[in-house]
Amino acid sequence: MSDLSAVHLTSQRDLQPKVGISACLVGEPVRYDGGDKYHQLINEELSPWLDLQVICPEVEAGLGTPRPPIKLVKDQGKTRALGEENSRVDVTEALTATAQKLSTTQCQDLCAYIVKSRSPSCGSGSTPRHDISDLSTESGDGLFVEALKTTLPNIVIVEESSLNDVQKCKEFLEQCYLLSER
Q: Are 143 and 99 in contact (CB under 8 A)?
A: yes
Minimum distance, C-beta of residue 11 to ligand SF4, in the bound complex (Å): 25
The minimum distance between CB 74 and ligand SF4, in angstroms, equals 20
Helix %, strand %, coil % of the chain (to 5): 35, 20, 45
**Minimum distance, C-beta of residue 150 to ligand SF4, in the bound complex (Å):** 18
Residue nearer to ligand SF4 on the CB measure, 58 or 141: 58
Evaluate whether 170 touches 13 at the Cβ level (below 8 Å): no
Residue 149 or 170: which CB sits closer to ligand SF4?
A: 149
Closest contact distance (angstroms) between CB of 76 and ligand SF4 is 25
Q: Is the CB of 4 or the CB of 151 nearer to ligand SF4?
A: 151
The DSSP output letter for 17 is P
Q: Are 120 and 71 in contact (CB under 8 A)?
A: yes
Contacting residues toward ligand SF4, per CB under 6 A: 22-24, 30-31, 56-58, 116, 119, 121-122
- Nearest to ligand SF4 of 81, 176 (CB atom): 81
How far, in Å, CA of 56 to CA of 65, rounded? 11
